[in-house]
Structure 1
Amino acid sequence: MTDASINTQVQDGEAQFGDFVALLKPRVMSLVVFTAAVGLIAAPVPVHPFVAFCAILFIALGGGASGALNMWYDADIDAVMKRTSKRPIPTGRVTPGDALALGLGLSGASVLMLGLAANWLAAGLLAFTIFFYAVIYTMWLKRWTPQNIVIGGAAGAFPPMIGWAVATGGISVESVLMFALTFMWTPPHFWALALFMNSDYEKAGVPMLTVTHGRTSTRRHVFVYTLLLAPVALGIGFTSIGGPLYLAVATVLNLLFIKGAWDILRRDEATAEADKYRVEKRFFALSLLYLFLHFGAILAEAVLRPWGLGGW
Structure 2
Amino acid sequence: MSGEGAAASQHTPSPESVATDPGPQSLGARIRGTVLAYIALTKPRVIELLLVATIPVMLQADRGHVDIGVILFTLLGGWLGAGSANTLNMVVDADIDKKMRRTARRPLARQAVRTGHALVFGLVLWVASFLVLFFAANLLSALLVTVTIGFYVGVYTMILKRRTWQNVVWGGAAGCMPTLVGWAAVTGSLSWQPIVLFLVIFFWTPPHTWALAMRYREDYRAAGVPMLPVIASDERVTRQMLFYTWATVIASLVLVPAASWIYAAVAVLAGGWFVERVTKLYRDTRNGAEVAPLKIFLQSNEYLALLFCGLAIDAVVNLPTIASLF
User: Counterpart of 1:266 in 2: which secondary structure?
Assistant: helix
Which residue among 282, 293, 302 is the counterpart of 1:289?
Answer: 302
Q: 148-157 or 194-203, which moves further after superposition?
A: 194-203
> Who is 1:142 aligned against?
161
Cα distance in 2 between the residues matched to 1:48 and 1:224: 38
| Kept in 2: contact 1:223–1:258 (CA 8 A) | yes
| Kept in 1: contact 2:234–2:285 (CA 8 A) | no
> Who is 1:80 aligned against?
99
Q: 156-165 or 251-260, which moves further after superposition?
A: 251-260
> Who is 1:193 aligned against?
212
Deviation at 1:311?
Answer: 3.7
Cα distance in 2 between the residues matched to 1:254 and 1:51: 30
Alpha-carbon RMSD across the aligned residues, in angstroms, is 2.0
Instruction: Encode CA deviations 1:166-186: one digit per residue, 9 max, x unaligned.
Output: 010010111111111111100
Which residue among 52, 57, 68 is the counterpart of 1:39?
Answer: 57
| Residue 71 (str. 1) matches residue 90 (str. 2) | yes
Which residue among 291, 298, 304 is the counterpart of 2:311?
Answer: 298
Q: Which amino acid aligns with 2:243?
A: V
> Who is 1:265 aligned against?
282
Q: 1:85 to 1:310 in 2, by over 3 A?
A: farther
Q: 1:34 to 1:226 in 2, by over 3 A?
A: closer
Q: Any stretches of 5+ residues in structure 1 without a counterpart?
A: 1-8
Deviation at 1:215?
Answer: 2.2
Task: Return the TM-score normalized by structure 1.
Answer: 0.88
> Who is 1:23 aligned against?
41
Cα distance in 2 between the residues matched to 1:49 and 1:282: 35
Instruction: Encode CA deviations 1:188-210: one digit per residue, 9 max, x unaligned.
Output: 11111112211111111101011
Q: Percent identity?
A: 37
Cα distance in 2 between the residues matched to 1:269 and 1:75: 36
| Kept in 2: contact 1:111–1:127 (CA 8 A) | yes
| Kept in 1: contact 2:66–2:316 (CA 8 A) | no
User: Counterpart of 2:205 in 1: which secondary structure?
Assistant: helix
Instruction: Encode CA deviations 1:195-250: one digit per residue, 9 max, x unaligned.
Output: 221111111110101122232211111111112222101112222xx221111111
> Who is 1:246 aligned against?
263
| Kept in 2: contact 1:10–1:92 (CA 8 A) | no
Q: Any stretches of 5+ residues in structure 2 without a counterpart?
A: 1-20, 25-29
Deviation at 1:122?
Answer: 0.8
Work out the number of aligned pairs and report it. 295
| Kept in 1: contact 2:50–2:75 (CA 8 A) | no
Cα distance in 2 between the residues matched to 1:248 and 1:47: 23
Cα distance in 2 between the residues matched to 1:220 and 1:269: 9
Which residue among 175, 184, 205 is the counterpart of 2:194?
Answer: 175
| Kept in 2: contact 1:72–1:100 (CA 8 A) | yes
Deviation at 1:282?
Answer: 2.0
